[in-house]
Structure 1
Amino acid sequence: MLSLRRYEEKDGETILSWIQDEDTYYKWSAGILGTYPITLNHFKKINDMEAFMVIEEKEIGFFTIRSPEKNVYRIGFVILDPKARGKGLGAGLIKCAIQYIKTHYPVERITLGVFLNNERALRCYQKVGFKEISKKEVNINNLIWQGIDMELSE
């Protein structure tokens, strides 16, 4: 069973160890934290966000929550330990995030974003019940990546 705990600055090393290549980094962050490779110093931007570690005996995942507008909550920076991928734990992580939001906030909508080249994450979000609401193009290292915003539809 998965559980949550608040992110602590010491978790940064663990999370950065899960980002094993440049492609993974940009799919995860869209470069918001800086260019690859990032350091723990760059990762300190996370300290200003509502962030969580996901636990299954040990830390297996991470995500953030922010509120871009009243009663709208956005899940971001979702990542799993590479050893935990392919076991359904990503869907469990997202369900934990949704449950936390619904328990702690007056929520009208829950959203997230994903790049189309991140097929595993896209399938995971669809499995949990997110549907595409808009498309966008993002410049990643002078390449145009196709992204979509998704919203939980219940």
Structure 2
Amino acid sequence: MMRFRPYKSCDAEKIVSWTKDEYSFRQWSSDRFGDFPLTADALNSYYADYRDNDRHLEFTSYDEKGICGHMIVRFTDEEKKTARFGFVIVDSERRGQGLGRKMLELAKNYTRDYLLADKITLGVFENNPAALKCYRAAGFKEVGTEDGYYSYHGDEWKCIEMELIF
């Protein structure tokens, strides 16, 4: 059974191992973490900037086999009614087993029941069909695209905006 808990710095080593190449790393994080490969120290340093911020929360999911997923929840409005999911990733060795959908279900329930948000948003690159399928299966609906493109080695990636309203 999957569980959901606050991120711990000791989770970082496992999480950074899940991005095997720069392409998948950029699909997961854009340029938010800087250079590839991401290190555990760099991930922890990035999150340290948000430690005393109740608007940015990091989570790890785990099951009987160990750590299997990671994501953040951050508020995008002053009233804390709109949350945004980000950095959603599951263990690269266990993809395709429904872990992403399960983690999103736990995160949705937590965001609605404990954080008391009314809406969740997220962005996903159009060239990431597995993530798009996962978000749709978790109940997210496409609501448009961001203006502009993310540029990666000469390719232009469009970001699809999705939302779920409770």
- Report how far residue 89 of structure 1 moved: 1.2
1:150 counterpart residue number: 162
Q: Which residue of 2 aligns with 1:63?
A: 71
- Match of residue 53, structure 1, among 56, 60, 66: 60
Cα root mean square deviation, aligned: 1.4
TM-score (norm 2): 0.87
Q: Which has the higher strand share?
A: 1
Question: Which blocks of at least 5 consecutive residues in structure 1 are unaligned?
Answer: none
Instruction: Give the gaps of 5 or more residues in structure 2.
Output: 51-55
Contact 2:118 2:165 (8 Å CA) reproduced:
no
Q: Deviations over 1:31-85 (max 9, x none)?
A: 1111222223321212324111101111100010000113100111000001221
Secondary structure of residue in 1 paired with 2:116: coil
Is 1:111 aligned to residue 111 of structure 2? no
Cα distance in 2 for partners of 1:135, 1:28 equals 17
How many corresponding residue pairs?
A: 154
Q: Give the match for residue 80 of structure 1.
A: 90
Matched-pair contact (CA < 8 Å) for 2:112–2:118: no
Aligned ranges for residues 3-22 of structure 1 at < 5 Å?
3-22=3-22
Deviation of 1:140 after TM superposition, in Å, equals 3.1
Following superposition, which runs of at least 4 residues in structure 1 exceed 2 angstroms of deviation? 38-42, 139-143
Q: Aligned letter for 1:108? A: D
Name the amino acid aligned to 1:56: D
* Sequence identity (%): 34
Normalising to structure 1: TM-score of the pair? Answer: 0.93
Query: Cα deviations across residues 97-119 of structure 1 (Å, max 9, x unaligned)?
Result: 10110121221211111001111
Whole-Å separation in 2 of the counterparts to 1:42 and 1:141: 23
* 1:141 Cα deviation after fit: 4.3
Greater helix fraction, Structure 1 or Structure 2: 1
